[in-house]
Amino acid sequence: MTDLIVEAELRETTGKGDARRMRRAGLLPGIIYGGGKPDVPLTINANAIGKLLNEEAFYTSMLEVKVKGKRGKNTVLLKDVQWDPLMDTAMHLDFMRVSSADSVTVEVPVVAINFEKCPGDIAGGLLDVIRHVLEITCRADSIPDAIEVDCANLDIGDTVHIEDLNLPEGAEVLHEVNFTVLNVSAKKTAEPEAEAATEDAGEAAADESTSEES
Same domain, 9 and 94: yes
Same domain, 144 and 171: yes
Same domain, 140 and 81: no
Q: What is the mean pLDDT of each run of 10 residues along the chain (214 residues)?
A: 82 79 90 93 92 90 91 89 89 94 93 94 95 96 93 96 94 96 84 55 55 52
Residue 214 resides in a domain: no
**pLDDT at 110 (0 to 100):** 96
**pLDDT at 18 (0 to 100):** 80
Summarize pLDDT for 194-205 with one digit per residue, the tens. Answer: 555 555 555 555
Summarize pLDDT for 39-75 with one digit per residue, the tens. Answer: 999 999 999 999 999 998 899 999 999 999 887 789 9
Same domain, 115 and 93: no
Domain that holds residue 17: 5-98
Domain count, the chain: 2
Same domain, 119 and 67: no
Q: Is there a contact between 167 and 136 (Cβ–Cβ < 8 Å)?
A: yes
Residue 38 resides in a domain: yes
Whole-structure pTM value: 0.75
Q: What is the CATH number of the domain that holds 69?
A: 2.40.240.10
Q: Is there a contact between 57 and 4 (Cβ–Cβ < 8 Å)?
A: yes
Closest C-alpha among 109, 37, 33, 11 to residue 77? 33
Starting at the earlier edge strand, list the strands of the sheet with 126-129.
126-129, 180-185, 159-161
**pLDDT at 199 (0 to 100):** 58
**pLDDT at 189 (0 to 100):** 64
Same domain, 44 and 72: yes
Same domain, 60 and 127: no
Residue 68 resides in a domain: yes
**pLDDT at 202 (0 to 100):** 56
